[in-house]
Amino acid sequence: MAFLRATGSYVPERVVTNADLATLVGETAEWIEQVSGISERRYAAPDQTVADLAVLAAERCLQSAGIAATELGMLLVSSGSPERYCPGPASAIAARLGMGTTPALDIPVGSAGSLIGLALAMRLAPTTGQMLVVGTEIMSRRIDATAEGRNTAILFGDGAGAALVSPNAGFLRLVDAELFTDGSGSEMLRVEDGRLHMDGGSVILRASRKLPACILEVLQRNALTPADVPHYLLHQANLNLLTKVAATLKVPAERVFTNIQKYGNTSSASLLLALDEWRSGVGQRIEGPVLFSAFGTGLNWGAMLAFPADLTSELTGSAAG
């Protein structure tokens, strides 16, 4: 078995409002909120790196769990905006956490990378031990804040999130996951030559179809329907997309947690930022299954199912465990 044991997150201090961006991108603050659902986002300071953000989120996660970094069996780091391609930030983060020679691996998949990390940790934790999954992004340096780049400039912000996956205890038991890749669409959403390139219409169209489909696949495999799930935690890509996924699944929109209004799309960090803030809000009142899902560069997407740790295994389907 594998469990989510603790979470942590960090967002930079600088708040960038729609009014701050409006003049740069040649639109109004009202238009930005209408098309994205975003009111503000955070930007990293000039001297901050993706590793800086990651370490702060990781330390908060480990402190919440009450364990030292030396007790980890592995670190998985997702980032689509590192300062350099190779080596990625994982090794630097591990060194700063004091992990010694514990393996630290990079997952260079924007937006969906933290879900991939959680799915890998779910499968590896029973033999590897405690695993820390981190998503960290400074997307403000990958956008073009001009009228030509407005479709991406209005969306993205910076931040980091972390989750500790344990083989023996936690607040959520990870039950099942499914991951998918379609490389034929990789040109639609990519980071290349230091800039984010996105065919927004095509990406939204794909995501609005693929996310509900993979969610349904995981739920059906575990003898559940969308109505059985009170908590949906999705990559915070665009508020309109989140609302559309809820409508396709025929579940109330309020079941889909959102914090994109405050932080924008933080790419790989967004799912873990949402998880940390959601957990802080619900406390011990997790009313039933939790469904995670994300869509990102590659194109990569997937879904993961979890149950409150005290929910009996008899309530899960044949694929649980």
Q: How confident is the model over 112-144, as pLDDT tens digits?
A: 999 999 999 999 999 999 999 999 999 999 998
- In CATH, the number for domain 172-315 is 3.40.47.10
* Cβ atoms of residues 173 and 307 within 8 Å: yes
Global confidence as pTM:
0.93
Question: Is residue 3 predicted with pLDDT exceeding 60?
Answer: yes
- Among 137, 146, 143, smallest CA distance to 235 is for 137
For the chain, domain boundaries: 2-166, 172-315
Give the pLDDT of residue 311. Answer: 63
Q: How far, in Å, CA of 15 to CA of 21, rounded?
A: 11
Q: How far, in Å, CA of 219 to CA of 289, rounded?
A: 10
Which pLDDT tens digit goes with each residue over 300-315? 999 999 999 876 443 3
- Topology match between the domains 2-166 and 172-315: yes
Burial profile 79-97: b = 16 or more Cβ within 10 angstroms, e = fewer: bbbbeeeeebbbbbbbebb
Write out the two tokens for 281: 């809000």
Residue 227 identity = A
Q: What SS3 state is found at 89?
A: coil
Fold held by 2-166: Peroxisomal Thiolase; Chain A, domain 1 (3.40.47)
Which pLDDT tens digit goes with each residue over 254-271? 999 999 999 999 999 999
